[in-house]
Chain A
């Protein structure tokens, strides 16, 4: 980590920012504890929890038995006991043994108890492609969870957001699905340690433009920024919105942008069918119908299981696929 002239600004990759955010949250509140497979001595397979067990001890950083249902289910019990567990799922594709505990228990307990019981549990999920990995290691399962009432779902796209959003997620009294775009773990960015850029569930315009709006979350935000850069060279001005929160979705900045540009392209790595992108398209069509000059277009992964790594470049939308949609939108 290199300290810049502003003492509160530090440059670091998202992996380090998450580590720093977790460390801060654990220091701030002794009830925060981390649970997961290989997160102790190894520091997690992505090293997000590196050094935390050494610093806080193995009652605060638990190398659990190998069982996702066990991890989530016991986190629920710990939350009932007043703890604030932060669970690490090792890879996106391994969350499903815990799906029952997440969707039937964690998501519903507050409602079942008519608000008497709070479930401040965070579930960290490294997700998404671009890492050339084998089956179950590159998936984007966020729609299942965004669809589930009672869960909040967020996904940072920058080190700064990662640092702040993990702390805000831990501070939330509701369960938060925290989707970490693993292909963004290593690129560096500035982190402002003095203040958060936006509340946990705020969406944000990250590049101004006038001809069309692009929106995405996680790693896809970087792809949109690349697309906007390429388009600018061709004289096309694209606005980019970082969604940040998938449930709830903060529509106002997005609608404001669409009212200005008249065109929207929603991008995501996840398959498009019945997805977060579908929901955004429908909502924007409902609420900004008279501002739209073109139908809302979706650019997404195909509706197939994530393919073998050698096909990932064909599966994952890139800047060219985004620009192809931009061309179609501008042609209306």
Chain B
């Protein structure tokens, strides 16, 4: 279906061919040095990340179907783009996700039960980006594109603080912001690029083009390959095969390093595919064919990387170990989901303002007394 393909003049950066053999495109040449730095332990970690993320995602979708969650937006199929870019960010970097970046959260160290809690409807928060164990991974944003401006403002602050551009890549900070192909149509996203270019922010715009915004194909959002739009803002950009975890890693690492070295904002368009439904409320059979989805299943990022690792001599024992680990991860999520307590009345009132507020005090007290009276009446 040509309709939903972005056709690009230069082929997207790719390291691994579909069969997992190492076959870098010419466009990959500037990025190869970043791959040389990876050890086989790193490779194994990338694989482990992707497999655990998928097991988590599958478990969460099941939990939704069993009535445990209000909604689930699956990341199935996008693990290569997410793990590659997430692993490319350095410890001091700051990550602004949208709402589908479960694999990025995983590699940044977030307890993914936080995502479950948000989607279960027990909190709007999930995890605290200020807690160092969360890898500067900020909470999800559900309003399309809004987080791109926040990321740019945050990156402006990094500049103003002198916390970047000193020439030390181990401490200079940068920002990665995730958004989708649909989001590129929002005013907020375009304004964020204007500001980013104007203030030369240390920032990577990581656009996951999964080819769909719910039922709307990317061709409705753009007639040109999306990464080319960046040029109009004065932002250097590149298109990468997002289902190639090594390419996603190398491209993100290099552009983050240029951003942190004073090179200003950069945009990466990762070509990938939303294999599942938009969310568990969606019915993709209404708007796309199974053949199209199948053609992307054939490009599964995990299968491709598994073939690569086998070529590198990884053993059955390794793969079996990862499978078992992922199974345990999912089982643990399931167990802890069932143990999530419902929120208390206070959650509704206590965090609305940073300080006491007469309306909150009055209304919370009213509701507590009202509920107590109801309970009393019922007993």
Contacts and interface: CB of A to CB of B under 8 A. Distances in A.
B13 interface: no
Contact of A66 (B182, B363, B371): B182
A93 B345 CA distance: 23
Nearest to B371: A314
Given A42-B214, A309-B121, A314-B345, A97 B286 contact: no
Given A38-B214, A308-B123, A314-B348, A66 B183 contact: yes
A308 B142 CA distance: 13
Given A97-B186, A311-B343, A133 B143 contact: no
Contact of A67 (B186, B347, B348): B186
Contacts of B359: 273, 303
Interface string A292-332: 00000000001111011111101100001100100000000
Contact of B348 (A43, A136, A307, A324): A307
A68 to B, nearest CB: 8
Contact of A310 (B121, B182, B286): B121
B118 interface: yes
A67 B343 CA distance: 34
Interface in B86-124: 118-124
Contacts of A189: none
B286 A302 contact: no
A161 interface: no
B217 to A, nearest CB: 9
A27 interface: no
Interface in B152-203: 182-183, 185-188
Contacts of A97: 143, 186-188
A135 B124 contact: yes
A70 B313 CA distance: 53
B342 A310 contact: yes
Contact of B70 (A43, A69, A132, A315): A132
B70 A311 contact: no
B221 A65 contact: yes
B374 A320 contact: yes
Given A66-B182, A307-B347, A42 B118 contact: no
Q: Among the interface residues A67, A311, A315, which one has the most CB atoms of the partner chain B within 10 A?
A: A67
Contact residues on B (Cβ < 8 Å of other chain), bracket: 35 or more
A273 B185 CA distance: 34
B370 interface: yes
Contact of B343 (A66, A96, A310, A321): A310
Interface string B258-279: 0000000000000000000000
Contact of B185 (A40, A45, A66, A94): A66
B216 interface: yes
B187 to A, nearest CB: 5
Contacts of B143: 93-94, 96-97, 136
A180 interface: no
B351 to A, nearest CB: 9
Residue among B119, B183, B187, B342 with the highest chain A CB neighbour number at 10 A: B187
Given A304-B352, A320-B374, A310 B120 contact: yes
Contacts of A94: 143-144
A63 B122 contact: no
Contacts of A142: none
Which of B118, B183, B185 lies at the interface centre, i.e. has the most chain A CB atoms within 10 A of its CB?
Answer: B185
A197 interface: no
B347 A41 contact: no
Interface of B: 70-71, 118-124, 142-144, 182-183, 185-188, 213-216, 220-221, 281-283, 286-287, 342-343, 345, 347-349, 352, 359-360, 363, 367, 370-371, 374
Given A307-B124, A309-B121, 4 more contacts: A42-B215, A69-B187, A314-B345, A314-B371
